[in-house]
Structure 1
Amino acid sequence: MIQPVAYAEGSNDTTETINNPPITSTVTRERYSQYIEGTESDHYKGEVIRLDDLNDVATDALDTYQGEDVIFIDQDQTGNLTVTVPETAYYIIGFDYKIAGDNVLPTQLEMTVNGELPYYEMQNLVFENGWQNPLEIPLDKYGNEIIPQPIKYDEWQFKYIIDSGYRTSLPLLVKLTRGENELALTISEGNLLIKSVELRGQLDVPSYEKQDITGNNYIEIEAANALYLRNNSAIRANASYNVNLIPYSSDKRVLNHIDPDSFKTPGDEIIYQVDVPEAGYYQLGINYQQRSKADFPVFMNIRINDTLQHDLLKDHPFFYQNQYKHVTLTDASDEPLTVYLEEGLNTVSFQISIEPIKKALEEIEQLTREIQSLSLELTNLVGPDVDRFRDIDVNDYIPGVFDLMTSWADRMDAVYSEMRSYNPSGGEVGAFSGLRVAEEQLRSLVSEPRKLARRKGELATGTNSVTAYLGNLMQEINDNGIGIDRFYFYQEDVEIPKSASWLERTWGSVKRFINTFGEQDYDVSNVNEENLQVWVNRPRQYVEIMQRLIDETFTAETGVRVDLSMMPDQNKLILANAAGEAPDVALGVNYALPFEIGIRGALQDLSQLEGYEEVASDFSPGMLVPATIRDGVYALPDTMNFWVMFYREDILSDMGLPIPETIDEVRSYLPELQRLGMNFFYPTAGMPGMKIFAGTMPLIYQNGGQLYGDTIHRTMLNDNQAIEGVRLLTELFTIYNVPYDVPSFYQQFRDGSIPIGISDYYMYNLILNAAPEIRNVWNIALIPGIENQAGEVERWSTGGAESNLMFKDTGKTDEAWAFMKWWASAETQVAFGNTLQTTYGPEYMWNTANLTAYQELPWANDHKAVILEQAEWIAEVPRVPGSYMLERELSNAYNAIVLDGDNLRTAIDLASKRVNRETERKLEEFGFMVDGQIVDPYPNPELSIRD
């Protein structure tokens, strides 16, 4: 058995280090809940301080907007405001604000008070745009209602400063000292116009007192069609064939409920204007569905005329309901609660809240940090890999470690028990099952103390670790989807709606089933031959937006009518062409597919059509390579799958590591990363089967290598520069111990075990929208490359995603080309990208291949700058006869070298022979070679791109 050495003696208090881990220290800044604890007696209780005259707010950001004095703070600027208060106390601060221009994303900012950041939440505040629907709901050509494009609200809005994660239902308090105080607002995204400033004590929420109700008024509001305003453009109505919803149709899509997949994020708010015939007290009923949290409620704040009338409207629970059901809001005694409405117009809002579980979230975050810290301590002790025959008593080296782990399990149990109190039955809570699994795994580790060193990966590494369960739980907790059909205010002498009976539901299902035998929307068989036929390899929500844009702009301008159809299977396009059933144009097909169709003479050479050069100039030249066949180009790029480097700012900063520019710098970082149990991610580690070109090509190209020469007759894979590129790639795994198999870089990036690596657009979208626990502590950079003789770092990468093509046999070449040019144009791509993201939410990011359009899309500006620069280094591998074999054999060589330990040159020579043999066979098949002799040289299309 290994004996304890100076490691344990030199540690004054290892458990204290674990409880306060040095890594990710930026996250451990004092939280608001700690800042505000015990300060109730010091809250400001005086009159509201309203500063409408901005001359009273000494500031260096004064400006004018539409004839009014305003404070204007643009992106990457700081506006300093000086406010005067009568006493030292805790205040809430609010602004009348607007966001100038066409910004879609919320404005993000940091606020310091008298030069200091009071607490963690102040480093990321958000001010949202308001959004409204057009007056009329648009219809598609089949008579279905479709989701309208949101319209930005252009009036001034008021908002108190609040946590961007909306973990508190009330505004954030800040301590100000008597006299002048300086507030510094630094904008990291967007801009902000401020018309006035308000300071006051915390908002009062009275205790509930039941009131008598008299009258017979009934006021019903359809949630989908009466929506007045929301603070998230993605909150939307949707259609469901459900007899419990109004309106209802068995044969047409009608918007009849607030989509729970859109109304789900803490802070999401929907606002209605309700006309009330008579002032008085009312009961409140709602027809809703909540199936995002099993055995656990979704909470909402219900404000009437911008006020929480009583504490039962604050964080009101809406329990799990798999189907839509009418429910009247009740008090603790299960009696209907009462609310007061004024005569005339009242505003009523529903806002997703998570304040009741705020402490639980903070405890889970703290536990995650502590467990990660222990995982690092264990790796420092025993190294990244542990021999299963070594017997190590970890407690000798980290005294008290098992008591500490037991305390973590106890803390998890306490959180889980608290969450059970929200389950009406008092039973298990499915929504927090991940917490129970994490607790049981910790207790299992404690039960086998001598196996802890070998099982240390179960703490914080991989998809089945304790921290992975906690991280997934954090993600799931932020999904609070609730669907709302209608709500209604009513008095005593009124009959309220009831849910549909079993018979009504069954009859509705039967009618719907019968209607499925008719013509289907956007089906390839449901077309008008006189119109341009376009097949789209995308879901319905994309197609609906595209069809609307086509009808409103392209058809209106050209007179050309277009039928969009959802593509049944892109791989059947070749068969459809052979059968004479191919469309005129196909959109969104895999970028490698145009070659397979074009080499068989089925596609139109777009480079011969008028205006091609102008259209092509908007794309990275390397994106055109896969669709280049000899001297022709047979497809246009549609989307771009960019590759960038992801890194955890918090971890690299605490380690003192700058962003690496080259692979050599990455290799120099690896010993320090690995000493702490961390590592680097290279894309091939995320490719469990074949290593595609996106993983194997970059280092070959960055090293000056090529995969083909002037023609494709022979591969250049065994050229010295290509071999050196393969050596650099494989040595990352064979010598530098970069992991060669990473099931989820996303997960390990979140938990910090792999805080840096190279990945693509899909990882970007995932981290941006599905990793709330590391928001603001990660970033992207150009991928590290290889410095050439001129001192320039070459950063070549792939970028292909989807492409658009035209079939050669179309009888409408001019119309089809006009349509393709229109769709590829920057104006159309910006319109589509903006509409898609504002309508369906931030996860529906349009990764257009049009670089001119991409600059205008609603993505974070600093990220766009990185992606646009990396796009200059896109150099797709050409798709040519036999190139599939090159991709396969390069993958086989990689596996042979990394996994089997084969000699590099032997593996590459074998791969080259197989590639050349298959290339010759395909050249024979397509007539470029006859009896082993080249009769028609096939040029390498990549050469002009990299010259």
Structure 2
Amino acid sequence: MKRFKKYVALGLCTLMFSTIVPVARANTYTDTSEVATQAVLKASDYEAFLATYENAKRPTKLVEFKIGNEQQASPMIVNDYIEGMKEGVYTQEGDRIVWTAQVEEAGLYAIELEYVAEYDRGSPIQRTFYINDEIQHSGALDVEFARTYIDNPSDIGKRDQNQNEIRPSQLEVKKLQKDFVKDSMGYYSEPYLFYLEKGMNTLTIEGVSEPMTIGKVWATPLSEKQSYQDYKTNYQDKKLAGQDTIFLDAEKANYKSTPVLYAQHDRTSPKTIPYDEDAQLLNMIGGTNWSIPGQNLVWEFEVKEAGLYTIYLKAKQNYNRDFKSSRQISIDGEVPFKEFVNWEFGYQPKWQLVELGDENGAYTLYLEPGVHELKLEANLGEVTTQTRKVQDILLQLNNLYTDIMIITGATPDRMRDYRLGTLMPELTGEMTRLAEELQAVADWMSAYSGKGQNNAALEVSARQLRKMSKDADIIPRELDFFKSNNGALANWLVKVRDQSLALDYIAIVSKEDVQLATPNATFIEQFIYGFKNFLKSFSDDYATLGTTTSQTEERPSIKVWIPTGRDQAQVLRKLIDMYFTPHYGIDVDLQLVTAGSLLPATVAGIGPDVALSMGDTEPVNYAVRDAVIDLNRFADFEEVAKRFLPERMVPLTFEDKVYALPETQNFNVMFYRTDVLEELGVQVPTTWIDVVATIPILLKNNMNFALPVSVPRADLIEAGTSTYYTMLFQNGGEIYKDNGMASNIDSEIGLESFKQWTNLFVNYALPQEYDFLTRFRTGESPIVVGNFANFNTLMVSAPEIKGLWGFSLIPGTMKADGTIDHSTPISGSDCFILKNSKNYDASWEFMKWWTSAEIQVAFGKEMESILGPSARYATANLEAFGNIPWDNAFYKVLNEQMKWGRGIEQVPGGYFTGRHINNAFRKVVTGKGDIRETLLDYVYVINQELIGKRKEFGLPVIEQY
């Protein structure tokens, strides 16, 4: 389908528009201010590559690449680096290392590497592959390689005061690994193929992010795996070994590809091994954490006698009713036969004892004496091809939606004839084709897993496409449903990629008629188990997460309140038990509370010593009420404050006193769709002048620029006022004057900034209410300013646009010296000491420990290991922020934007400022009020509140305001 601009962006209109609207300038900060994941924009699509070489040979001879002669003397060469690697080359971001190979037979090969994952910040290891100095297809870009993690040996076996097992931290280790260049999303079941010419070929590996040491590199021929029957014929003379059954506790996996694969506690059955009636034991692994294709677990086991062995898995797949979970099973790094390429686990509400075999009996594997590795890796299984088809269809449907929207707008006039059939003559044919393709996938899925509600998205979308293809005139009326159906398909992709699976144990059997234990409890056993848990629920304290009170000696003790989630509280509890109390000798009573409980508890005199995760408005709010202490009283405060951006301390300071330490930080960046902007010929804007030049181009195509919108919350980063503060700071203005006694937004700079802000909405009708994910994924708003945390949302919830977006610095203001000011508000959460505390010194030691780089990094890693990348922790500690596992290119943007952060001064009555700036905004934009008069009226109201609050707290005032 040709894009719409080929039909309408022609002739005089284009010429006239180009003379009116200036072209957006290229970004000044080429290296650090923007980054985009452009995997499908830099090279030909992999499907097109395969079609081009459809008739190419599939050679059978392995080819080994050698490090180029010119690099033999390079200091990056390492020898005997790790067991199994005699020679390797250490590569990091930006390195381009060349390997050469003499190829006897031209054809399609897979590329296989042996490597050791090195550590920098723990972000994904990515490499780009060039064959003879060319990127042959998109699959060669930003290829990801797995790391290796283990349970921290020092944590294994530890228990809390209630004798519950404490989950071990995950520790990255260096281990020699072998893997192919393959699709990290799992949309291709086989490794990517590359075409090598006969003769000398070069393979260039370019470092994109994170270091790795590469040993041998091969061009490997791919051949179809042998069947189990063929495998079995090789061992017809072998018998069962007769060794006692080998039991592997699944939760004690030797190696994991990701730290989220940690041991867990199963509460559903008393038959889960191990089990304790009174304590929570770590007795399973996986679950929803083992859901992403590519995640793998490895268990080592020792065989004493050569012979045939059978594998049993006690597994549970009660996570995805309409789909199956698939695992690739390999022994000692090799998949023995094709039946193990995609071993599927259907939905079952209870634990199942799964025998690896078929209707003819169990599969037997021949094993020699010694240590072996069993590896289970999540993949998409039989639905791989269908998932890839839907991914491709969805991209085409989103393109169609964008093309239609360019003509009709996002909300078409139902009474208008848009002549879509004339302007887009191929539209109905495309819809018919895509409807047929979607229906084919729906039919296949129904035959594969049965009709279910998850497949309804495919059928509904196909049905609507057929309806619209019959009459182009109804498409504008159906456009909103069309967008909704595309969103449903995107959600279907997320759902079908969910490969959740839990494991209790693995049994490796080599005797006939071995009877393994029944995987589930009887009705009576289950009833008794449930009744005991019910009784215990009356005595368990769910608010207190345990204390470390000494039973043998008197030690200082403090009470700490945390109002976040239970996962966060449990991680902090673990860190306290492991790293704080043993070292500092201070007991900590950690309690999980609601956010609004601190104020009444403080007034009642029953509050904590330390409050965590409080908003930026709280420290000064409590300080003016004499409820928190000034941290300047501690001799080492200045040294501790150097951990954070100076601007991050601004909202925590009042009248030269500092009342809190920052924990996290948030700020805005600018997200953009690379594919849409490339199609429109628009460059990423750098300044607000560029934005003003870009918006008409977007509007001309019925798209728009989007800024943060006002919402009913105090968080300035999410409120629409963050844009006003951005412009105010960039223009050299301040929010308050006279040491916070009065508002300064009625200054000329304040008025001009307010005019600049509101004019964007008045003149260009920027959306005042929108859903970031929906508008961005559909392309309605291909450029959106928003909190950088949206990065996690897009990575998790919008896989269909992976590689089609990026983010850059927020638009800036050009200064007289030619530099660009990218200032933007920065805020976050904080911790402080309540004045009613009986032990200030112990509380201060705790806050110093909690905000230290080491503990902030440990907390962030633990949270990400539990909840995945969506829980990435935005610590305010600068050293720790540099150790968050962001992709290197993204980190450069964040690090640059962070330096432009400006803290919002907090003053008594300051809550009126943001509230009435928003009121003034609505009156001007919606009510068409005069800009100057409206803002001045509201500044008067703001000042009256500031004066009133200062009088209430006995602070000096200036009555003239």
Tell me the TM-score normalised to structure 2 length.
Answer: 0.88
What secondary structure does 1:421 align onto?
helix
The answer to whether residue 913 in structure 2 is matched with residue 913 in structure 1 is: no
Q: Distance in 2 between matches of 1:833 and 1:724?
A: 41
The answer to whether residue 492 in structure 2 is matched with residue 476 in structure 1 is: no
The answer to whether residue 378 in structure 2 is matched with residue 364 in structure 1 is: no
Q: Distance in 2 between matches of 1:526 and 1:147?
A: 17
Q: Distance in 1 between matches of 2:274 and 2:55?
A: 49
**Matched residue, 2:813:** 786
Q: Distance in 1 between matches of 2:146 and 2:74?
A: 24
Letter matched to residue 506 of structure 1: F
Tell me whether 506-515 or 701-710 shows the greater mean CA deviation. 701-710
Q: Give the conservation status (yes or no) of the 8 Å contact 1:59–1:79.
A: no
Aligned to 2:218, which of 198, 209, 224? 198
The answer to whether residue 523 in structure 2 is matched with residue 502 in structure 1 is: yes
Cα distance change on mapping 1:659 and 1:32 into 2, 3 Å: same
Q: Give the conservation status (yes or no) of the 8 Å contact 2:275–2:281.
A: yes
**Matched residue, 1:17:** none
Q: Distance in 1 between matches of 2:278 and 2:68?
A: 57
For 1:270-669, list aligned pairs within 5 A: 270-331=297-358, 333=359, 335-383=361-409, 386-423=412-449, 427-446=450-469, 449-460=472-483, 464=484, 466-490=485-509, 491-498=511-518, 499-520=520-541, 523=544, 528=549, 530-566=556-592, 568-669=593-694
Residue 371 (structure 1) shift: 2.3
Letter matched to residue 497 of structure 1: A
Q: Distance in 1 between matches of 2:432 and 2:187?
A: 28
**Matched residue, 2:192:** 172
Deviations 1:236-279 (A, max 9, x none): 21112222421123432211111322111111111111334544
Cα distance change on mapping 1:727 and 1:842 into 2, 3 Å: same
**Matched residue, 1:16:** none
Q: Distance in 1 between matches of 2:748 and 2:641?
A: 34
What secondary structure does 1:175 align onto?
strand
Q: Give the conservation status (yes or no) of the 8 Å contact 1:715–1:916.
A: yes
Residue 586 (structure 1) shift: 1.5
Deviations 1:545-598 (A, max 9, x none): 3334334443344322333222x1122112212222222111212222222222
**Matched residue, 2:183:** 163
**Matched residue, 1:888:** 915
Q: Give the conservation status (yes or no) of the 8 Å contact 2:875–2:881.
A: yes
Cα distance change on mapping 1:813 and 1:904 into 2, 3 Å: same
Letter matched to residue 185 of structure 1: I
Residue 308 (structure 1) shift: 1.8
Q: Give the conservation status (yes or no) of the 8 Å contact 2:864–2:870.
A: yes
Q: Distance in 1 between matches of 2:722 and 2:351?
A: 46
Q: Give the conservation status (yes or no) of the 8 Å contact 2:111–2:180.
A: yes
Residue 851 (structure 1) shift: 1.6
Larger RCO, structures 1/2 (Cα 8 Å, 6+ apart):
2
Letter matched to residue 433 of structure 1: A
The answer to whether residue 102 in structure 2 is matched with residue 74 in structure 1 is: no
Q: Give the conservation status (yes or no) of the 8 Å contact 1:701–1:722.
A: no
Q: Which runs of 5+ in 2 are unaligned?
A: 1-5, 12-37, 550-554
For 1:192-231, list aligned pairs within 5 A: 192-202=212-222, 204-209=224-229, 219=245, 221-231=247-257
**Matched residue, 1:874:** 901
**Matched residue, 1:117:** 135
Deviations 1:354-400 (A, max 9, x none): 15323323322332232233333334434565433323442233225
The answer to whether residue 44 in structure 2 is matched with residue 29 in structure 1 is: yes
Q: Give the conservation status (yes or no) of the 8 Å contact 2:58–2:108.
A: yes
Letter matched to residue 521 of structure 2: A
Cα distance change on mapping 1:701 and 1:301 into 2, 3 Å: same
Residue 636 (structure 1) shift: 0.9
Residue 918 (structure 1) shift: 2.4
Q: Give the conservation status (yes or no) of the 8 Å contact 1:84–1:181.
A: yes
For 1:778-857, list aligned pairs within 5 A: 778-838=805-865, 841-857=868-884
**Matched residue, 1:92:** 110
Letter matched to residue 493 of structure 1: D
Letter matched to residue 443 of structure 2: S
Q: Give the conservation status (yes or no) of the 8 Å contact 1:294–1:431.
A: no
What secondary structure does 1:75 align onto?
coil
Q: Which runs of 5+ in 1 are unaligned?
A: 1-5, 12-22, 938-947
Q: Distance in 2 between matches of 1:546 and 1:786?
A: 42
Q: Distance in 1 between matches of 2:220 and 2:423?
A: 54
Cα distance change on mapping 1:79 and 1:52 into 2, 3 Å: closer
**Matched residue, 2:32:** none
Residue 417 (structure 1) shift: 0.9
For 1:240-251, list aligned pairs within 5 A: 240-243=266-269, 244-251=271-278
Cα distance change on mapping 1:666 and 1:154 into 2, 3 Å: same
Cα distance change on mapping 1:449 and 1:827 into 2, 3 Å: same
Letter matched to residue 417 of structure 2: D
Cα distance change on mapping 1:688 and 1:372 into 2, 3 Å: farther
Letter matched to residue 685 of structure 2: P
What secondary structure does 1:132 align onto?
strand
What secondary structure does 2:349 align onto?
strand
Q: Give the conservation status (yes or no) of the 8 Å contact 2:710–2:918.
A: no
Tell me whether 200-209 or 598-607 shows the greater mean CA deviation. 200-209
Residue 736 (structure 1) shift: 1.5
Cα distance change on mapping 1:9 and 1:197 into 2, 3 Å: closer
Tell me whether 377-386 or 634-643 shows the greater mean CA deviation. 377-386
What secondary structure does 1:487 align onto?
strand
Cα distance change on mapping 1:858 and 1:66 into 2, 3 Å: farther
Q: Distance in 2 between matches of 1:168 and 1:501?
A: 42
What secondary structure does 1:510 align onto?
helix
Q: Distance in 1 between matches of 2:9 and 2:543?
A: 72
**Matched residue, 1:18:** none
Q: Distance in 2 between matches of 1:7 and 1:592?
A: 53
What secondary structure does 2:869 align onto?
coil
For 1:135-146, list aligned pairs within 5 A: 135=153, 136-146=156-166
What secondary structure does 1:517 align onto?
coil
Deviations 1:157-208 (A, max 9, x none): 2222222223334333322222211001111101221222233321551113
**Matched residue, 1:670:** 695
Q: Distance in 2 between matches of 1:280 and 1:598?
A: 74
Cα distance change on mapping 1:525 and 1:240 into 2, 3 Å: closer
Q: Give the conservation status (yes or no) of the 8 Å contact 2:107–2:197.
A: yes
Deviations 1:63-85 (A, max 9, x none): 22566642222111211111122
Q: Give the conservation status (yes or no) of the 8 Å contact 1:300–1:352.
A: yes
Q: Give the conservation status (yes or no) of the 8 Å contact 1:25–1:654.
A: no
Cα distance change on mapping 1:24 and 1:814 into 2, 3 Å: closer
Q: Give the conservation status (yes or no) of the 8 Å contact 1:97–1:156.
A: yes
Q: Distance in 2 between matches of 1:468 and 1:753?
A: 13
Letter matched to residue 404 of structure 1: E
**Matched residue, 2:953:** 926
Residue 328 (structure 1) shift: 2.6
Aligned length: 907
Deviations 1:298-325 (A, max 9, x none): 1111112222222211112111123322
What secondary structure does 1:746 align onto?
helix
Identity of aligned residues (%): 26
Letter matched to residue 730 of structure 2: Q
Cα distance change on mapping 1:904 and 1:103 into 2, 3 Å: closer
What secondary structure does 1:42 align onto?
coil
The answer to whether residue 260 in structure 2 is matched with residue 234 in structure 1 is: yes
Q: Distance in 2 between matches of 1:181 and 1:650?
A: 33
Letter matched to residue 41 of structure 2: T
